[in-house]
Amino acid sequence: MTDILRVQTAVVSYGSVRILDGVDLRVTDGEALGVVGPNGAGKTTLLNVIAGAVATAQGRVFLAHEDVTRLDPAARCRRGIGRAFQIPRPFGVLTVLENVLVPAMHGAQLPTARAYERAVTVLERCGLLPLANRRADTLGLLHRKRLELARALAAGPRVLLLDEIAAGLTDAESEDLVDLILEVRAGGTSIVWIEHVMHVLLRVVDRLVCLDGGRVIADGEPRAVLDDDVVVGAYLGPQPGVHAKERTP
């Protein structure tokens, strides 16, 4: 299987504190990878390294065969790394449609007419077409999350990075979002998804990586990773017989 994304030996420090300590990560084309780990493990920092928002002091980031290590987030977005943030970041004064047009024109670099077509298709797919002319700052949380996803999709990502997008949603709303992400995945987009809501994550991902203290401590089949003693210990400390998944919300 071809790797669509590869991180080699990512190292990030803030002052004397090492946040990522030589992280290696591979995502094969079409794969959905979940990233878990206790608070402060370095998950968002890893996503920042992939997206280009934070530089790795060592190592490399590859998208397919291209070394993108020195590219900024906008250039990585144009090449196919899309991102949806935990806290949606729409342009509040723009309409829903305008919010999706921006990445279609500047991320996917489509000419205006095609950007409109892309925006309408994505809004329809995300269930937002009826709200196309609403100002983004008037939307409720689920719709803002959908818009966040729509903005990432409008850029036409080959790899979609998702950061705790189920946070704050009800179970029914999360299920709704999962159905949408499953559709995205079925369309061939690879996914790297950080999520604390484990039952939501498990509906989508093929593989889980667990980070702790800036290192990968487990990588494999999702249930096996969650049952791994090292992972259980990272979440709970030494409490034999209690599993990470029982403690995760």
Ligand X SMILES: Nc1ncnc2c1ncn2[C@@H]1O[C@H](COP(=O)(O)OP(=O)(O)OP(=O)(O)O)[C@@H](O)[C@H]1O
Binding-site ranges for ligand X (CB under 6 A): 14, 19, 37, 39-45
* Selection from 176, 173, 171, 180 nearest residue 150 by Cα: 180
* Selection from 141, 109, 107, 146 nearest residue 126 by Cα: 146
Q: How far is the CB of 119 from ligand X (least distance, A)?
A: 30
Q: How far is the CB of 36 from ligand X (least distance, A)?
A: 9
Query: Which of 61/122 has CB closer to ligand X?
Result: 61
Query: Which of 45/174 has CB closer to ligand X?
Result: 45
Query: Which of 48/190 has CB closer to ligand X?
Result: 48
Write out the H or E segment, with its range, that includes residue 3: strand 3-14
Q: How far is the CB of 55 from ligand X (least distance, A)?
A: 12
Residue linked to tokens 């077409």:
129
Q: How far is the CB of 186 from ligand X (least distance, A)?
A: 27
Residue ranges in 103-140 assigned as alpha helix (H): 112-125
Tokens of 13: 């420090």
Give 175's DSSP letter.
H
| Residue 99, helix vs strand vs coil | helix
Q: How far is the CB of 243 from ligand X (least distance, A)?
A: 18
Half-sphere exposure (Cβ direction) of 138: Cα atoms closer than 13 Å: 9
Cα 113 to Cα 88, 109, 116, 120, 194, distances in angstroms: 26, 11, 5, 11, 34
Q: How far is the CB of 204 from ligand X (least distance, A)?
A: 18
Strand order across the 66-67 sheet: 17-28, 3-14, 60-63, 66-67
State how far the Cα of 145 lies from the Cα of 167, in Å rounded to an integer.
Answer: 10
Query: Which of 108/161 has CB closer to ligand X?
Result: 161
